[in-house]
């Protein structure tokens, strides 16, 4: 083992007990510090593999403050905490610890947490090295291509975005006079979509005149440098007037920049900008520093490559909002909100490796689609993708479902049967609702993750399996661990690479695209013409909070299409606050006749509800026909065809 550990704990009794436990378990304790300052001194003497870090420390700096420095130095740490507020816990979580122990804890908890942290550290290092090799190769390939300046900048943006997220990337060189505009950039408008922004585009978007821009360029030139200070900047003080235009125009709150000196002595600056506050960290800075030589080589060749080709100009002109991502693996995922794009970037980043992935998010946020995409982007894409909803299988049967069973192993086991893990050999197992897995099964799943082997129910002979696990849950697993419902060791094994999918209410800018996508699909399925979405429907759906997320929105659109006449824009056909409840009462749809029956019943019930509101009045202002956007004769025909009787609606309204 021989792992070196520094203990940072201001209670000597606790610290000494930790020291004795660790030494008995074979660890080397490099020292004990009661404050952040003392810890700094210890770190200068000897670099540990892990730091056990109390949040509340002596002196002016907390454990969280020290954690930020440990992050910069790439030293793994595990928090020790007593009674901390939710705010403190959120701050601690943001520093990305390798573990979290709540006092008082058992000796076993400490050793298991350290074991898991070692596992995570090993996997993280291997993954980081693989990713760095791939990015080096990608940047080298870009450098050797014969494409022009704009094309190379676009490819740099696409290659580096999984390491450094951004909404806007801007590159520019030092001006040789006060009237020269050298900046160019790409605004990210979709998963793999970018809008080119040059001088002409910036003038238009920012609402500037040529004279305004000339004045701004002159002010920037007088500062003797067109590049902002290298590193992280979260306010405008470090930027020239021209760079402030970029930031203000695109509502930028965080920036990360690097300056390069090319072979001809020019200074070229790359700025990565984000609308998310305090996004960039020392880890992002380290990535830029590591690949500085690669970027310099590409930039040297960009300086020599001349103006963009006519073909590139045409491709830039054609690129714009509204198109689906180019990546086939993400075709079924609709949206361009930065929170969604960040999640898809993480999926792209982790997909090539065998690392376990944990998808987090509310029900209906698209976790299953992202799991499919991770599989499709991996080296296992030609292998099987096997799904299991852990909450849908009775506890008595789930072991057999996962691992298989021998003939006669239990009542009803009339033959030998493979489980999901063996079915997924060479591929991916997707375990949905992992938070609902019974505790006894969590132990057995942990064995699969650790030893890569399963046991059939009724057999003591282990069988090796080669599978990747992608798990998903809508539960707060940290809370489940605290309440004893989910194993801490399994949580950390699964949580090697977590990806959180945002709820629909946090990405409302995607709602119109989702409405249109589902409406077109359902109109096509039900042989109805799609004539657009009414403004009132869009307004109502934008103001709704969507507790059921995309799944609920899809259900609402399906019902609206079923009830629509197909002769006008799609209208909202239900009160949104009852959408989920009403849909849950629908019968299962398995055949075309089922679809027709649901359509008839739903349409009949809706017409009855409208007739109740109008007290049976069909014609005239605010009559049922007007509310339903139908001709009175058409409505009367529907009433007769659907068998709506007067007693179904009379006497209800106004009583």
- Residue 22: predicted pLDDT: 93
Sequence spans of domains, the chain: 4-126, 145-318, 349-502, 506-649
Lowest-confidence region among 390-404, 416-430, 627-641: 627-641
Give the domain 4-126 fold: Rossmann fold (3.40.50)
Percent of the chain at pLDDT exceeding 70 = 87
CATH of domain 145-318: 3.30.450.40
CATH of domain 349-502: 3.40.50.300
Please tell me which of 260-264, 326-330, 377-381, 481-485 the model is most confident about, judged by mean pLDDT.
377-381
Spatial contact of 472 and 519, defined as CB atoms under 8 Å apart: no
pLDDT at residue 583 above 60? no
CA distance readout (Å), 462 to 290, 437, 469 = 44, 22, 19
Q: What is the pLDDT of residues 618-631, one digit of tens each?
A: 888 778 887 777 78
In this chain, the answer to whether the domains covering 145-318 and 506-649 adopt an identical fold is: no
Percent of the chain at pLDDT exceeding 90 = 27
Q: At what angle do helices 338-350 and 367-376 cross, to 10 degrees?
A: 40
Q: What is the pLDDT of residues 117-132, one digit of tens each?
A: 887 777 767 666 776 7
Strands 385-389 and 357-360: unpaired
Give long-range contacts, CB 8 A cutoff, 24+ apart: 104-112: 107/21, 109/488, 110/18, 110/21, 110/22, 111/21, 111/25, 112/488, 112/489
> In whole angstroms, what is the distance from residue 202 CA to residue 243 CA?
11
Q: For residue 197, what pLDDT band results from cuts at 50, 70 and 90?
A: very high
CATH architecture of 506-649: Orthogonal Bundle (1.10)
End-to-end alpha carbon distance in the chain: 79
Spatial contact of 363 and 548, defined as CB atoms under 8 Å apart: yes
Query: Does the predicted TM-score (pTM) go above 0.75?
Result: no
3-class DSSP assignment, residue 459: coil
Q: For residue 313, what pLDDT band results from cuts at 50, 70 and 90?
A: very low
- Residue 184 phi/psi, 5° resolution? -150, 150
């Amino acid at each position: 083992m021989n792992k070196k550990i520094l203990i940072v704990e201001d209670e000597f009794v606790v610290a000494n007990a930790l020291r004795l436990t660790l030494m008995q378990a074979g660890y080397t304790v490099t020292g004990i510090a009661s404050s952040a300052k003392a810890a700094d001194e210890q770190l200068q003497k000897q670099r540990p593999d892990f730091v056990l870090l109390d949040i509340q420390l002596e002196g002016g700096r907390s454990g969280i403050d020290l954690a930020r420095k440990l992050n910069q130095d790439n030293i793994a740490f595990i928090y020790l905490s007593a009674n901390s507020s939710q705010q403190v816990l959120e701050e601690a979580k943001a520093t990305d610890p390798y573990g979290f122990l709540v006092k008082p804890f058992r000796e076993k908890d400490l050793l298991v947490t350290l074991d898991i942290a070692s596992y995570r550290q090993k996997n993280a290092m291997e993954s980081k090295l693989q990713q760095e090799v791939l990015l080096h190769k990608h940047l080298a390939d870009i450098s050797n291509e014969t494409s022009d300046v704009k094309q190379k900048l676009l490819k740099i943006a696409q290659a580096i975005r999984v390491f450094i997220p951004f909404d806007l990337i801007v590159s520019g060189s030092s001006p040789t006079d006060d009237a020269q505009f050298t900046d160019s950039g790409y605004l990210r408008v979709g998963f793999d979509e970018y809008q080119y922004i040059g001088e002409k585009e910036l003038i238009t978007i920012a609402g500037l005149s040529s004279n305004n821009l000339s004045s701004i360029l002159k002010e920037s030139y007088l500062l003797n440098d067109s590049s902002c200070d290298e590193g992280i900047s979260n306010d405008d003080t470090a930027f020239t007037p021209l760079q402030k235009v970029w930031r203000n125009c695109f509502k930028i709150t965080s920036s990360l920049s690097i300056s390069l000196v090319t072979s001809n002595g020019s200074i070229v600056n790359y700025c990565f900008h984000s609308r998310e506050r305090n996004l960039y960290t020392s880890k992002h800075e380290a990535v830029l520093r590591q690949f500085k030589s690669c970027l310099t080589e590409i930039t040297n060749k960009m300086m020599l490559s001349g103006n963009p080709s006519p073909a590139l100009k045409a491709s830039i002109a054609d690129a714009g909002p509204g198109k689906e991502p180019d990546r086939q693996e993400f075709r079924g995922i609709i949206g361009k909100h930065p929170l969604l794009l960040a999640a898809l970037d993480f999926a792209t980043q982790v997909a090539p490796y065998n690392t376990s992935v944990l998808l987090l998010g509310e029900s209906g946020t698209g976790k299953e689609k992202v799991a499919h995409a991770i599989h499709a982007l991996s080296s296992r894409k030609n292998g099987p993708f096997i799904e299991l909803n852990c909450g849908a299988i009775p506890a008595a049967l789930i072991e057999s479902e996962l691992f298989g069973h021998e003939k006669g192993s239990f009542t009803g086991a009339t033959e030998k049967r493979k489980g999901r893990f063996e079915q997924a050999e060479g591929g991916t197992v997707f375990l949905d609702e992992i938070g609902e897995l019974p505790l006894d099964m969590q132990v057995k799943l942990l064995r699969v993750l650790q030893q890569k082997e399963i046991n059939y129910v009724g057999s003591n002979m282990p069988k090796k399996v080669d599978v990747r696990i992608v798990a998903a849950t809508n539960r707060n697993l940290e809370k489940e661990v605290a309440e004893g419902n989910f194993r801490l060791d399994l949580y950390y094994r699964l949580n090697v690479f977590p990806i959180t999918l945002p709820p629909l209410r946090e990405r409302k800018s995607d709602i119109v695209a989702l409405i249109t996508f589902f409406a077109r699909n359902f109109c096509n399925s039900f042989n109805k013409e799609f004539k657009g979405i009414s403004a009132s429907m869009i307004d109502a759906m934008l103001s709704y909070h969507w507790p059921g997320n995309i799944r609920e929105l899809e259900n609402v659109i399906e019902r609206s299409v079923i009830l629509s006449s197909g002769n006008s824009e799609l209208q909202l056909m239900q009160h949104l606050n009852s959408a989920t409840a009403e849909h849950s009462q629908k019968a299962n749809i398995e055949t075309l006749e089922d679809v027709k029956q649901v359509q008839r019943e739903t349409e009949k019930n809706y017409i009855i509800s409208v007739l109740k509101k109008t007290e049976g009045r069909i014609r005239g202002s605010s009559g049922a026909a007007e509310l339903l956007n139908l001709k009175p004769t058409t409505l009367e025909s529907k009433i007769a065809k659907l068998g709506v009787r007067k007693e179904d609606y009379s006497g209800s309204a106004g009583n």
